[in-house]
Amino acid sequence: MASSRQVAEMSDNAKAFDSRMIAPALLDWYDRHARDLPWRTGPEALRNGVRPDPYRVWLSEVMLQQTTVAAVKSYYRRFTVTWPTVESLAAAADDDVMAAWAGLGYYSRARNLIAAARKVAEASGFPGNAEGLRALPGVGEYTSNAIAAIAYGEAVPVVDGNVERVVSRLLALAEPVKSAKSLIRETVAAMTPLDRPGDFAQAMMDLGATICTPKRPACVLCPINDRCTAFLAGPDPATLPVKAPKKERPSRLAAAFVAERATDGAVLLVRRPPSGLLGGMAGPYVTEFSSKKDGATGEGAAPFSADWVDCGTAEHGFTHFLLTLEVMWAQTPHGADLPPGAFWCPRERLAGEALPTVMRKAIAAAIPDAFNSGKI
């Protein structure tokens, strides 16, 4: 925890810091070094009066929540080709959207994406400001402000993880970002220029992603290092922001039962409940995840009686626990009593199903060529 003396120093830093001096140098740097990303309208196009499409800005921002640029690119392209407008996305079948999202993670985002698209289509357009955007499902304070700043030029503070890190170093904050949230927001609000709020927000994020990185920041290349308290006076910028102690991830155990239809190799899938872990996604029948010691696995946990073959285990790391899946395989027995909601997925459709990565791992452990058949 921060001592009162540290907090006093932090406040002095914040007070002495002239936030208005940041934007000019940062925007000058951005004009020369902005990353070329699929969802961006370049600074040059913006000067020529081109306005970003709020649909594309929204879609990219939702995809980018806790997700790397590299991971998002191919998904963003696929979505915008398949659904070029919010109306087309609103008209899509739920499972088509979930299938297109499969592998990107945090699947509640896809559910909220569908709900928000339909709300926008019903209203004949996106809300015209940050406050209205904030009311869409899956759009929180960061995302609403990012969309408003980028698409509408609204001068609202855009604070993401990059910005928190950059500001923590600019002010040499001795507090964890969680408890400095209000100060950071106010600082960013004061830094944001009225004329180019969207470019400023993206410039801050580019800086955080390429220069002011978490572990080894390239301070010597930073366009605002002459205004950075940590760089100028310490502590070492790499030690900021102060992080809360991390908790260890528990291990859990479950069993996956991959049933294959003898006649054609189709795989039995079940639709998972709409909320919770992997909500709304498909997968083989999987037992409840339990603590490692009392995990009810083995043939006794099977959804129906069959000659289950042990295929070994599949490991998968979730955000808050590590999962070991005991994978079992069996051909469909005659007259099997299938789990409720189960359906047979033809082999050639497996790759296109709404299967999370962990479920693909389980299926691949039981049927090594499950996702290869159908391809040449």
Residues that bind DNA (CB under 7 A): 35, 37, 39-40, 60-61, 64-71, 103-108, 112, 137-144, 146, 160-162, 165, 178, 202, 205-206, 208-209, 214-216, 243, 246-247, 276-279, 316-320, 356-358
- Minimum Å gap between C-beta 53 and DNA is 15
- Minimum Å gap between C-beta 14 and DNA is 20
Which of 9, 44, 61, 299 is the catalytic position? 61
Strands 322-331 and 251-260 come out as parallel
C-beta closer to DNA: residue 43 or 308: 43
Active site residue 61: yes
- Minimum Å gap between C-beta 232 and DNA is 23
C-beta closer to DNA: residue 230 or 330: 230
C-beta closer to DNA: residue 281 or 330: 281
**φ, ψ dihedrals at 74, nearest 5°:** -70, -35
User: For residues 328 and 304, is the Cβ–Cβ distance under 8 A?
Assistant: no
Residue whose C-alpha is closest to residue 284's, from 367, 374, 369: 367
* CB atoms inside a 10 Å sphere around CB 91: 12
- Minimum Å gap between C-beta 161 and DNA is 3
- Minimum Å gap between C-beta 344 and DNA is 22
Rounded Cα gap, residues 189 and 110, in angstroms: 30
Hey, which residues are catalytic here? 61
